[in-house]
Amino acid sequence: MSKGFNVAVAGATGAVGQMMIRVLEERNFPVNKIRFLASERSEGKKLSFKGEEIVVERLTHSSFSGIDIALFSAGAGRSLEFAPSAAKAGATVIDNSSAWRMDPDVPLIVPEVNPHAVKDAEKKGIIANPNCSTIQMVVVLKPLYDYARIRRVVVSTYQAVSGSGLKAIKELEEEVKLWVTRRNKEDWGKVAPKSLTGLSYGGVSDYEFSAYPHQIAFNCLPHIDKFLDNGYTKEEMKMVNETRKILEDDNIMVSATCVRVPVFYGHSEAVNVEFEKEVSPQKARELLSDAPGVRVIDEPESFRYPLSIDAEDQDETFVGRIRSDISNPKGLDLWIVADNIRKGAATNAVQIAELLIA
């Protein structure tokens, strides 16, 4: 194809789908024709690509005729239903959902970490995009793993509401507005600040929550996705299983606690790593400074460390607070931040597409 590749974006009207479109444009991906697909609710809407208005079509099993690459951000259920049809039509599917990640015949790829796995795409015609919180962690862990191998990882995440989609972004906005409105109406000199929840302190306790089971504004929810029988959530177990698959090492022990925080964009992670041999903070900074897709910001004396607001709309993964674990001579502590919609989803998917056409 002299002009490029025929590309479809399934779930084009969602937060990740819209970012996929933007990243295709930004990275000048060689597109011949592009097709935007979504549910019947979004059918007929128009989205822009390189100055042209493209009408959104309804996602069906016959949507992929002539398509070379299909980027999916339509959710696990839709992916399970429609991705095989896309592959059968001759497209290579790059799926952002959890549907195919642990399928042994589907490669799970972070281009900076395991680009060689793209060769396995031919087995089913599907490539899985990892979980957002897993992606940014393994981008940082890979150079350290290659140097000293990793025995154990304990990670606590602080995940932005954009990871739950546009609905959650709007919910946080509305809760903050409601909280401020009620605070301005209260006589704060007579109110004891016992809690930020409840009407007595300007909270939103009688607000009808839809994205989360509790108020997210000015709050932290130690609960992302469904709880499992082992006490962990599905989000936490994704980090366990996906890390092992991407790094191709089932012996790595991983424990995760995933928390939703009132941040719009940018997941943050506190990561404790135990290695097979000692790794000094200086050596870790040296390795990470040379790593693809990684930016080291580690000057605590000047209050310089990765922030979610600085990572927003960036494709790099930021790491700082690199220090020795005082409880373990072979341990390091790290602080990792990335834009979950870009590197954690859309950008990583487009990078995989770039691997394919290379």
Q: What is the pLDDT of residue 186?
A: 58
**Same domain, residue pair 50 and 118:** yes
Judge whether 302 lies within some domain. yes
Q: Are 73 and 17 in contact (CB under 8 A)?
A: yes
Query: Model confidence over 195-207: pLDDT tens digits?
Result: 444 433 445 655 6
pLDDT 10s digits, 38-97 = 999 999 999 999 999 999 999 999 999 999 999 999 899 999 999 999 999 999 999 999
On whether both 138 and 120 belong to a single domain, the answer is: no
> Domains in the chain: how many in total?
3
Angle ∠(296,297,302) on CA atoms, nearest 5: 155
The whole-chain average pLDDT of the chain stands at 93
Cβ-based burial of 120 (10 A; exposed 0-12, middle 13-18, buried ≥19): middle
Core vs surface per residue 37-63: b (16+ CB within 10 A) or e: bbbeebeeeebebeeeebebbebeeeb
Is residue 216 situated within a structural domain? no
Using CA atoms in the order 259, 260, 263, 264, what is the torsion angle rounded to 10 degrees?
130
Could you tell me if 308 and 186 lie in one domain?
no
Candidates 153, 142, 129; CA nearest to 247 is 142
Q: Please tell me which residue in 214, 220, 258, 267 is annotated as part of the active site.
A: 267
Domain of 250, CATH number, reads 3.30.360.10
- Provide the token pair at 63: 């949507």
* Whole-number pLDDT of residue 197: 45
Give every CB contact of residue 188 below 8 A, 6+ residues apart in sequence.
Answer: none
Instruction: Assess whether pLDDT exceeds 70 at residue 236.
Output: yes
Q: Let me know whether 142 and 288 are in one domain.
A: yes
Q: Decide if 214 is catalytic.
A: no
157 with 276, same domain: the answer is yes
Active-site residue (options: 61, 116, 132, 258): 132
Q: Give the residue numbers spanning the domain of 196.
A: 166-201
In the residue annotation, 267 being an active-site residue is answered as yes
What Å distances lie between residue 282 and 21, 268, 287, CA to CA?
39, 22, 9
Residue 16 lies in a domain: yes
93-148 pLDDT tens trace: 999 999 999 999 999 999 999 999 999 999 999 999 999 999 999 999 999 999 99
